[in-house]
Structure 1
Amino acid sequence: MSRYTGPRLKVMRALGAELPGLSRKPLGERNHPPGQHGRRPRRKSGFGVQLIEKQKLRFNYGLGEKQIQRLFREAKRDRGPTGDKLLELLERRLDNFVFRAGFAPTAVAARQLVRHKHVLLNGRAVNIPSIRIRPGDRIQLTERARCIPVVVEALAEPALTRPEWLVFDEAAFVATMTRTPSPDEVPFPVDVQQVVEYYAVRL
């Protein structure tokens, strides 16, 4: 997967939303689109609105276009609402779980921890960020990872409040998923129905 390595705040300004998985920096007063004419209000077409909502998911969770299309197809096969299932599948990714547990400042940093085998899934080292976490799974940091400055800082000041669908044991550095996440627990504003409509005519 080609990972985005460009300016993160610029992306959030273009999308008009703070994406905690992408960056901890707030938009602040620069909440207008980047560029010379960023302050000029622009009318968005239906396609433009759908594209923005889709890009929010892509950048917050660090996915390539093919990856999110694959998840959308899987969500579409589910009996429940496609949008709700898509958000659930995204939240259950291992790298996102590591981020939501407070082990990393962003989902980008969490993915790097997983890649470098600093994360144990049910006591076993893994290096695949897209592994899907299930209720009852236990995620733990390795002894070496607990000394990494970024991890120490993230544990001291988590970027987000830990969600209700996981339990965190501070003494053992263990996070356990207790249930599947619900759509309203996604930590940034997104109109997932616009994403469903975007892909409905393209896949």
Structure 2
Amino acid sequence: MSRFTGPRLKKMRALGIDLPGLSRKTIESRPTPPGQHGAKNTRRKKSDFGVKLMEKQKLRFNYGLSEKQMRRLVVDARKGKEPTGDTLLQLLERRLDNVVFRAGFAPTIAAARQLVSHRHIKLNGKLVNIPSIRLRAGDEISIKDVSAKLPIVVETLGNLPLTRPEWLSWNEQALSVKVAHMPAPEDVPFPIDVQQVVEYYANRL
């Protein structure tokens, strides 16, 4: 399955949660699932599989990943010494496109990915164009001087979609952010039962 390119608010309503990496909009005014029978569907109890699938989809759609990318991340998370779920969340938060978003350079992760792909972002002083790069403690992200004047960057920096997390250290003068330390599971900006995600892939890898 490829990345989602359809109506973002509709997808969030289907999942029943705001996903800041997917859209700046919220489902507050229309919290029920989309469709004629949306209100009735909220009362229907989900199966065990349905719960696992929904938790997995929250991560996939918020971080803008294909199913293949999600599977690869779970495989990598299994190799670590820490609990698979905690490692998976850390790997997602450490992605360059996510850090560009959390730094406040872009309104969504999709927009952040575009900034990286078009070579507007520097990693430790060098231009990069790979959104999936995993950052380490001490890495510094900045934006090209000319790119800092882009309307989308100026607007987002003036009205942050999310408060910058504690694990990122912001330099206002340089318009740069440094990874102070590795993110923790609770740094994910929306509720997630990651164990359900781990169990979803338990028999699929």
TM-score, length basis structure 2: 0.97
**What are the within-5 Å matches in structure 2 for residues 147-186 of structure 1?**
147-186=149-188
Distance in 1 separating the partners of 2:177 and 2:192:
26
Cα displacement (A) at 1:3: 3.1
Distance in 2 separating the partners of 1:43 and 1:142:
50
- Per-residue CA deviations over 1:93-133 (Å, capped at 9, x if unaligned) read 00000000111111111000000000000010000000001
1:4 match: 4
Select 1:110's aligned residue among 77, 99, 112: 112
- Per-residue CA deviations over 1:6-37 (Å, capped at 9, x if unaligned) read 10000000001100000000111211110110
| Paired amino acid for 2:119 | K
| Paired amino acid for 1:101 | A
Secondary structure of the residue aligned to 1:175 is strand
Distance in 2 separating the partners of 1:34 and 1:67:
27
Q: Which runs of 5+ in 2 are unaligned?
A: none
| Paired amino acid for 1:48 | G
Secondary structure of the residue aligned to 2:38 is coil
- Per-residue CA deviations over 1:55-107 (Å, capped at 9, x if unaligned) read 00000000000101000001011111000000000000000000001111111
Distance in 2 separating the partners of 1:79 and 1:135:
18
| Paired amino acid for 1:92 | R
Pair 1:196 & 2:198 matched: yes
Pair 1:68 & 2:75 matched: no
Distance in 2 separating the partners of 1:11 and 1:170:
35
Q: Which runs of 5+ in 1 are unaligned?
A: none
| Paired amino acid for 1:183 | P
Distance in 2 separating the partners of 1:2 and 1:37:
27
Secondary structure of the residue aligned to 2:122 is strand
**Identity across aligned pairs (percent)?**
64
